[in-house]
Amino acid sequence: MRLCPKTNKTQNDDLKTKESGSLVCTKEKPSIYKLPTQTRLKLSIRRWNVAAKWRWNIGEGPCGICRETFDSCCVTCRTPGDECPIAIGICRHAFHMHCIIKWTKSQKVAYPLCPLCRQKWEFAPMEHTSGCPKS
């Protein structure tokens, strides 16, 4: 049983009985009654502390040189929170920037090689770094 919003009659009051004994609704459209809302949010936010977590979009593997994850700092940085950028080569292997620079300087060859696949090491252009590199 439902109350009609304007007349406070029940829905059964809108039904009439035909001579055949079946019920017929006298209303053409059913009305939808919305309850008035009396509640409002009665508080104000004075301070909002937010915590966030981020991670590099380069897979789950560690740096191929220092074996530390990319979420943590490399052995050169040592202090969590220091900037430790990631370098990706044209071979799509990823390393901490400090690790690969130290590695390439220590090579005694005409051109540095990737420590993992031994291809000629070159930094990948930015458009090549959008995919997930090997780790």
Q: What is the pLDDT of residues 24-77, one digit of tens each?
A: 555 555 566 666 666 666 677 788 888 877 665 665 678 888 888 877 777 777
All structural domains of the chain: 1-35 (no CATH), 59-135 (3.30.40.10)
**Greatest distance between any 2 Cα atoms in the chain:** 107
| Structure confidence at residue 35 (pLDDT) | 60
Average pLDDT for 8-18 = 48
H or E element, residue 88: strand 86-88
What's the CA gap between 46 and 107, in Å, rounded? 57
Highest mean pLDDT among 6-15, 20-29, 113-122: 113-122
